[in-house]
């Protein structure tokens, strides 16, 4: 399992109920294609933004029951239209994803954690909410836990990818956090590893870990295989944080990743996740 892009979320895996795989796949291809428009290749920001505008227009046509017009993305929107009708997928969540990708084209900076979480609210949280919608889990507590898991995964991806993002001009470290450690974003862009940068990454990873653990009880709310799939997602994110800790938080210099040797550990930890005992219980 990977922690890259939308591979944060297992796509139509063997654990996904067969009846839902077409919907999960359609959502994935919609999000991944938009992400690639915003982030891949050498097109200037204005061109990326224009293409995302055209992509957004295709989404609105899809939602209105109109046929796709742009041949570039017909393979995205024709399956998505079917699944939107079949499962009544919430259009605002798909719009939120596009809003985040549009924001990415400008390589913005984030003043504080609240600003970064607002980005995560649109770039990551909609995926979890769409999956919960498919599973028929829609209460406020479950949605909040899903948001915590998805935002945590996004943050983990950021702290994992500092050595990749910084050379591309992508600054996800909140300026307030950097300043608290006596650093500026310009200094971080130089990728000079040292005690201050490692202390910063350590603190940011602690934030992501706390967020992940706050959402983890959701694994006990999802039915059957969906709950097991989410267990692996949670444990995958936590394992990346362990790897960052093992390299003394030096992710400005290199990028940790999961591999085949991590799979048995993830499976064992997923099996070990237990629901909290009821209030007042002696268990």
- Specify whether the CB–CB gap between 172 and 178 falls below 8 A: no
At residue 145, the pLDDT reads: 97
What is the spatial distance between Cα 8 and Cα 5, in angstroms, rounded to a whole number? 6
At residue 43, the pLDDT reads: 87
Helices 113-123, 125-135: inter-axial angle, 10-degree rounding: 40
Q: For the chain, which domains are there?
A: 5-272 (1.10.600.10)
Residue-wise pLDDT for 26-41, tens only, equals: 999 999 999 999 987 7
Pair of tokens at residue 111: 């003043």
Burial label, 20 (beta-carbon count in 10 A; 0-12, 13-18, 19+): middle
Q: In the predicted model, what is the mean pLDDT of residues 21-29?
A: 93
Task: Please state, rounded to an integer, the average pLDDT across all residues of the chain.
Answer: 90
Helix (H) or strand (E) holding 134: helix 125-135
> Which residues, at least 6 apart from 193, have a Cβ–Cβ distance to it below 8 Å?
250, 252, 253
User: What's the pTM value of the predicted model, to 2 decimals?
Assistant: 0.90
- Specify whether the CB–CB gap between 133 and 200 falls below 8 A: no
Residue-wise pLDDT for 170-213, tens only, equals: 999 999 999 999 999 999 999 999 999 999 999 999 999 999 99
What is the spatial distance between Cα 62 and Cα 101, in angstroms, rounded to a whole number? 19
Q: In the predicted model, what is the mean pLDDT of residues 20-30?
A: 93
Backbone angles phi, psi at 160, to 5 degrees: -70, -35
What is the spatial distance between Cα 112 and Cα 207, in angstroms, rounded to a whole number? 13
3-state secondary structure of 281: coil
């Amino acid at each position: 399992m990977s922690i890259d892009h939308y591979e944060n979320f297992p796509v139509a895996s063997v654990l996904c109920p067969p009846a839902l795989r077409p919907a999960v796949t359609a959502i994935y291809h919609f999000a991944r294609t938009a992400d690639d428009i915003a982030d891949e290749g050498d097109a200037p920001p204005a061109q990326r933004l224009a293409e995302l505008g055209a992509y957004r227009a295709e989404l609105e046509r899809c939602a209105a029951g109109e046929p796709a017009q742009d041949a570039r993305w017909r393979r995205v929107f024709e399956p998505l239209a079917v699944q939107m009708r079949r499962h009544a997928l919430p259009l605002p969540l798909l719009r939120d994803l596009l809003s985040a990708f549009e924001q990415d084209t400008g390589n913005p900076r984030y003043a504080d954690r609240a600003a970064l979480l607002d980005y995560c609210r649109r770039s990551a949280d909609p995926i979890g909410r769409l999956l919960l919608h498919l599973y028929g889990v829609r209460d406020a507590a479950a949605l909040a836990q899903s948001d915590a898991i998805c935002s945590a995964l996004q943050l983990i991806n950021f702290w994992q990818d500092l050595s990749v993002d910084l050379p591309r001009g992508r600054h996800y470290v909140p300026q307030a956090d950097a300043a608290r450690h006596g650093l500026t974003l310009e200094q971080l862009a130089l990728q000079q590893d040292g005690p201050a940068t490692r202390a910063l990454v350590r603190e940011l990873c602690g934030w992501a870990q706390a967020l992940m653990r706050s959402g983890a009880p959701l694994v006990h709310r999802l039915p059957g295989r969906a709950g097991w799939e989410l267990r692996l997602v949670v444990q995958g994110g936590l394992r990346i944080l362990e790897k960052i800790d093992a390299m003394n938080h030096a992710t400005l210099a290199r990028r940790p990743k999961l591999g085949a040797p991590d799979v048995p550990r993830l499976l064992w930890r997923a099996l070990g996740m237990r629901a909290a005992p009821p209030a007042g219980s002696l268990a």
